[in-house]
């Protein structure tokens, strides 16, 4: 029987509960399990002496327990001290532990542990490492580089309740079935396309990627350059190209209302603006207006750096819809960002006689009913809101344009739901997708599903560049005085923390603790606090008070990454910036520098930094362009991590990297041409099966 017809419930120890967890990851058959590929590997082939460990190392260690005790601090924990034959020491910390574990880690017990080393309050430590209890007292060959007969250990993408040991047990069974019946997994790529690449057969590539042999080159596997990785990446690229071609073909049959040049509103707004559009804004606006005038629905991605002026371009596009008797809807991922868009659009459009509706989750009762009635009657011509816009009771009179900001924060089904609300006699609304997260053009064109791309690559004149400085947290007192000085001069500041609550596992200052400390030390300043666990109804008044100048300092987590525009804020402190990616740091930094005063961003890092962290902070200090930073981020982390799994509107690659695997992209494009040339039913079935194998139901990502 084919492996794609054997359900996972046929494997040992897969009951209803485990089957349901697997189903959430789109794993229902043994073949699905084989194509659930490791995200990375842990090299457990060498023991490291404890004296050679550094913060951030992910290592295998061995030692004897010299002390163990339960600590009753802020959070109860089990602390276990190890020492090895070379005299080095390490502390293990467990927040969840049983009596059996305590007994297994008694004095004199020999443990072999794998985990990430972190700098704790007292010493280097591992938090919840994987522990192997040695049944004998013979020490392993501990020495820097001493080999252990253990291959690379695969680490699988997972979900709550699924441990790595479970994944390894399941894939062991699936691989055994594949080894016994290699033909039970169909190779959907014809030999005429695959053979010229000189890569392994499909079943062999899967075996190697799941269970690298002991003699496999470690670095090639880790960097996905091994021929087995490249074979699977090619199949994935080919499926992606086929899905794109299919979407293009489907799109040719879609219709939209043509929104031509129907009046004077756009000209009146341009004349009323206190600033001229930049050349990049004018170019992008022409591209959008050309699309809107057509009878096919526009599907355009608008990229622009922080402060590049995307919103005014969106406002002009909305006016084109209104001039043609249609409504425009702008959807943003948070109430904060939606409210900011509403204010901007109201300032520009209401003087032109345009009625703007505002709809969010907090609108209830009569207020909500009145807003819904005016939207349904067409009296509200521009509608701004959050995900509330696509809820069932929202009906539009004639929705002609959908504008979605920070699109990657919405799931594809949410965007499709809003699009379908504008369906009118078989015609769909035009769509403009905006993002301030720059993605290099080559990557955007490879991974976005059939969206035309517009880029505002020019900032408005007169913006003062932000000076970025990296400061060790040993100089925290100086930084606090810098905040006092800036706020004393009438300016405002942000203090950004990376965690909400204290964690002994990660030495990041918690936002709540930071706010308490700063309130004690800066008693003359008005200080507010916001983070993701504060309900929106409580968070919004704090943000509004900061925007109104009623607060001097805002302590926050990364919830302020987008949607905060306070021109008077000229100083930003980011604690533990080494824990954030370049793109997120750039987004945060963009919250300052919006006025006419010189602005600063202080990166308050915790030493020692890893080499990668040092490079990230150096790039941020050196570069001000979001696109230059995106290129650097892509080079350092690869496409998969830069795009991220949360960006549900994009094809999330498992192995392929469009930047690294440029040759594979070209080969996949040629392979797609060959497969599409076969118009037989069997050819169509092969294409459908290949797309389903790699994308599943995510082929709908193109229907944005």
Query: pLDDT tens for residues 149-161?
Result: 556 889 998 888 8
Choosing from 623, 657, 680, the residue where a domain stops is 623
492 and 595 share one domain: yes
> How is residue 73 written in tokens?
């601090």
Parent domain of 533: 466-623
320 within domain boundaries? yes
pLDDT of residue 652: 59
Burial class (CB in 10 A: 0-12, 13-18, 19+), 523: exposed
> Percentage of residues in the chain with pLDDT exceeding 90?
46
pLDDT of residue 631: 72
554 and 515 share one domain: yes
**Nearest alpha-carbon partner for 561 in 546, 540, 583:** 583
**Nearest alpha-carbon partner for 382 in 350, 346, 355:** 355
Tell me the CA distances in angstroms from 140 to 104, 111, 128, 665, one per residue in order.
19, 10, 21, 46
280 and 361 share one domain: yes
682 within domain boundaries? no
d(CA 686, CA 2) in angstroms, rounded, equals: 15
Cβ-contact 75, 104 below 8 angstroms: no
Tell me the CA distances in angstroms from 433 to 126, 299, 408, one per residue in order.
43, 8, 10
> How are beta strands 58-72 and 110-119 bridged, if at all?
antiparallel
Which residues contact residue 656 at a Cβ distance below 8 angstroms, ignoring those fewer than 6 apart?
233, 234, 236, 237, 240, 639, 664
d(CA 699, CA 334) in angstroms, rounded, equals: 27
| H or E stretch at 573 | strand 569-575
75 and 15 share one domain: no
Tell me the CA distances in angstroms from 474 to 55, 480, 571, 608, one per residue in order.
17, 12, 19, 11
Would you mind telling me the total number of residues written for the chain in this entry? 704
Q: What is the CATH number of the domain that holds 362?
A: 3.40.50.300
270 and 412 share one domain: yes
252 within domain boundaries? no
Q: How many structural domains comprise the chain?
A: 4
pLDDT of residue 263: 80
Tell me the CA distances in angstroms from 479 to 482, 572, 604, one per residue in order.
5, 10, 8
Work out the pLDDT band at 532, boundaries 50, 70, 90: low
605 and 473 share one domain: yes
Whether residue 382 is predicted with pLDDT greater than 90 in this model: the reply is yes
Tens digits of residue pLDDT in 279-301: 999 999 999 999 999 999 998 88
Choosing from 223, 250, 273, the residue where a domain stops is 223
101 within domain boundaries? yes
d(CA 514, CA 575) in angstroms, rounded, equals: 10
**Nearest alpha-carbon partner for 297 in 277, 326, 266:** 326
Q: What is the CATH number of the domain that holds 107?
A: 2.40.50.140
d(CA 303, CA 300) in angstroms, rounded, equals: 10
Tens digits of residue pLDDT in 653-677: 788 877 677 788 889 989 999 999 9
| H or E stretch at 174 | helix 164-180
Q: Taking CA 157 as the corner, what is the angle to CA 156 and CA 159, rounded to the nearest 5 degrees?
A: 120
618 and 534 share one domain: yes
164 and 20 share one domain: yes
Mean predicted lDDT score pLDDT of the chain = 84
484 and 564 share one domain: yes
493 and 616 share one domain: yes
3-state helix, strand, coil in the chain (%, to 5): 45, 20, 35
d(CA 83, CA 373) in angstroms, rounded, equals: 72
pLDDT of residue 441: 61
132 and 172 share one domain: no
419 and 473 share one domain: no
83 within domain boundaries? yes
Residue 487 CA, distance from chain mean position: 33
Tell me the CA distances in angstroms from 557 to 497, 539, 583, 621, one per residue in order.
5, 12, 16, 21
When pLDDT is averaged across residues 190-206 and rounded to a whole number, the result is 95
d(CA 373, CA 394) in angstroms, rounded, equals: 9
pLDDT of residue 564: 66
Cβ-contact 403, 331 below 8 angstroms: yes
659 within domain boundaries? no
Work out the pLDDT band at 42, boundaries 50, 70, 90: confident
Cβ-contact 313, 458 below 8 angstroms: no
Tell me the CA distances in angstroms from 675 to 183, 233, 490, 679, 686, one per residue in order.
21, 17, 66, 8, 8
């Amino acid at each position: 029987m084919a492996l794609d017809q054997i359900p996972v419930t046929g494997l040992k120890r897969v009951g209803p509960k485990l089957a349901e967890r697997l189903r959430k990851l789109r794993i229902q058959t043994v073949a699905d399990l084989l194509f659930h590929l490791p995200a990375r590997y842990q090299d457990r082939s060498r023991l490291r002496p404890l004296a050679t460990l550094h913060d951030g190392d992910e290592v295998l260690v061995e030692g004897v327990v010299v002390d163990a005790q339960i600590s009753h601090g802020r959070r109860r924990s089990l602390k276990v001290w190890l020492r090895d034959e070379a005299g080095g020491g390490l502390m293990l910390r467990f927040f969840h532990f049983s009596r059996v574990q305590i007994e297994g880690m008694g004095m004199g017990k020999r443990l072999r542990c794998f985990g990430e080393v972190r700098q704790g309050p007292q010493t280097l430590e591992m938090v919840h490492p994987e522990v192997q209890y040695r049944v004998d007292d013979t020490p392993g060959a501990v020495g820097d580089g001493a080999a252990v007969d253990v291959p690379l250990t695969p680490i699988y993408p997972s979900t709550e309740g699924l441990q790595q040991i479970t994944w390894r047990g399941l894939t062991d069974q699936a691989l055994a079935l594949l080894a016994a019946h290699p033909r039970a997994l169909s190779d959907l790529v014809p030999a005429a396309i695959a053979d010229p690449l000189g890569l392994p057969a499909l079943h062999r590539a899967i075996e190697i990627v799941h269970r690298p042999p002991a003699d496999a080159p470690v670095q090639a596997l880790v960097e996905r350059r091994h021929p087995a990785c490249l074979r699977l990446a090619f199949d994935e690229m080919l499926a992606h190209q086929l899905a794109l071609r299919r979407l293009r073909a489907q799109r040719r049959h879609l219709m939209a209302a043509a929104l031509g040049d129907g009046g004077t509103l756009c000209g009146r707004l341009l004349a009323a603006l206190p600033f001229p559009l930049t050349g990049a804004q004018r170019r992008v606006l022409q591209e959008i207006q050309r699309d809107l005038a057509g009878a096919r629905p526009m599907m355009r991605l608008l990229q622009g750096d922080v402060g590049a002026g995307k919103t005014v371009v969106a406002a002009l596009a909305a006016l084109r819809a209104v001039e043609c008797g249609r409504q425009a809807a702008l959807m943003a991922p948070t109430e904060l960002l939606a409210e900011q868009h509403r204010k901007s659009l109201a300032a520009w459009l209401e003087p032109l006689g345009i009625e703007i509706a505002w709809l969010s989750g907090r609108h209830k009762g009569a207020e909500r009913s009145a807003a819904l009635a005016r939207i349904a009657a067409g009296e509200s011509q521009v509608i701004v809101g959050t995900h509330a816009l696509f809820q069932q009771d929202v009906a539009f009179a004639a929705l002609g344009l959908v504008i979605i900001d920070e699109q990657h924060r919405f799931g594809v089904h949410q965007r499709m739901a809003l699009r379908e609300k504008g369906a009118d006699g078989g015609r769909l609304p035009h769509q403009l997708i905006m993002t301030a997260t720059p993605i290099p053009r080559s990557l955007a064109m490879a991974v976005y599903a059939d969206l035309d791309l517009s880029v505002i690559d020019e900032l408005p004149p007169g913006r003062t560049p932000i000076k970025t400085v990296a400061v060790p947290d040993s100089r925290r007192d100086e930084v606090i005085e810098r905040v006092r000085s800036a706020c004393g001069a009438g300016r405002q500041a942000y203090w950004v923390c990376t965690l909400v609550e204290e964690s002994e596992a990660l030495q990041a200052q918690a936002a709540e603790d930071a706010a308490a400390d700063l309130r004690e030390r800066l008693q003359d300043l008005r200080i507010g606090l916001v983070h993701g666990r504060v309900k929106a109804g409580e968070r919004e008044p704090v943000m509004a008070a900061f925007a109104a100048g009623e607060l001097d300092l805002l302590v926050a987590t990364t919830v302020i990454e987008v949607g905060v525009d306070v021109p008077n804020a000229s100083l930003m402190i980011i604690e533990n910036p080494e824990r954030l990616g370049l793109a997120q740091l750039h987004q945060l930094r963009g919250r300052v520098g919006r006025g006419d005063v010189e602005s600063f961003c202080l990166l308050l890092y915790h030493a020692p930094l890893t080499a990668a962290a040092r490079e990230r902070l150096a790039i941020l200090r050196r570069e001000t362009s979001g696109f230059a930073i995106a290129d650097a981020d892509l080079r350092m982390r690869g496409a998969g991590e830069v795009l991220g799994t949360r960006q549900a509107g994009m094809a999330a690659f498992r192995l392929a990297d469009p930047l690294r695997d440029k040759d594979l992209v070209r080969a996949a494009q040629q392979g797609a041409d060959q497969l599409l040339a076969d118009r037989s039913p069997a050819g169509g079935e092969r294409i459908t099966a290949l797309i389903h194998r790699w994308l599943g139901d995510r082929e709908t990502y193109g229907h944005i």
